[in-house]
Structure formats: C-alpha cells, structure tokens
Amino acid sequence: MNSSTAPALRFAFRIVAEVGSYLPLQRRDAELLEFIPITGGTVEGDVAGTVLPGGGDWCLTRADDAYEVEARYLVRTADGQIIDVVNVGLVRHLPGESGEAMGYFQSTPRFRTTAPDLQWLTRSVFIGRGTANENDTTIDIFEVQA
C-alpha cells in the first residue's frame, strides 16, 4: 500500500442525539466550558438503536471562536446490546461563514462493547461529521478503510 494515498471512508451509521439546555460550568477569560445534556436519540445504519438519556457533551468555547467538544453516552441497539460512545471533536466556522451555522464539525468517535457481533466497532478507526441543531446533534459516522 502506498502511504501517500488517503484512506477511503465508508458510511457506517447516523446518530441523532437529542440535547437539553446548556449548563455553564466554568468561565476563564474569553473561554466558557458548558455541559450539554444528552436526553435520548436514535441510531440508524449498520448499527440501529436508541441513544440512552443521561450522557452529555462538554463543550469548550475557545477564545479563537472554535469549540472543543467531548461527548460521552450510551447506545442500546435494537437487540439490546450496549455500546459506550466517546466522541471528541472540533467545531468552527469555515472561511466566509458567520452566525450560528458552523460548517466544520469533525470528530473521532471511539466505541466499546461486549457484544460479539459489534466487535468491528472496537477494531477500526472512525470519523464523525456533525451538524448541531437547536434540539439535537446529528453525527454521520464513517469507518476508515485500510
């Protein structure tokens, strides 16, 4: 394999995480750390199920107008298996953008599970592309191919 060739991405599934109101945790100079409760949601694609309420997203508003996000929550699959999700990412405006819309929302989700048929989640690297809305966050999950 040529190391200068970019790996392909395969769409695996979509997570729609419903969110509650932001809770401020800490302010330092121009930076603000907030907690965003995850109240439920859905998962569709190679993994199907529901996002369990009780997780959350720690969002750091940085002085450079970017946001560091770190979400942690659980998914229960349609057949009752549990997946632990830890998703770390960065959100920012793209050149020429302003206002609420932020076109750059990329993340690196990691998955843990004891389910034998879902071990592929623990053996690959994934990239997430997100969209934040008022009441939910949608993340399309792509598996990095060899």
Residue type present at position 40: G
Report pLDDT for 93: 80
Question: Is residue 3, in this structure, part of any structural domain at all?
Answer: no
Q: Is position 53 within any domain?
A: yes
Q: What is the CATH number of the domain that holds 105?
A: 2.40.160.20
**Per-block mean pLDDT, blocks of 10 residues, the chain (146 long):** 85 98 94 97 98 97 93 98 98 75 89 98 97 93 95
Whether 24 maps to a domain, the answer reads yes
In a domain, 56, yes or no: yes
4 falls within a domain: no
Judge whether 117 lies within some domain. Answer: yes
Question: What range defines the domain where residue 130 resides?
Answer: 9-144
Q: Say what the pLDDT of residue 8 is.
A: 96
Instruction: Count the helices and strands in the chain (H runs, E runs).
Output: 0, 10
The pLDDT of residue 106: 96
Query: Does the residue 116 lie in any domain?
Result: yes
Number of domains observed in the structure of the chain = 1
C-alpha 110/C-alpha 98 separation (Å) is 30
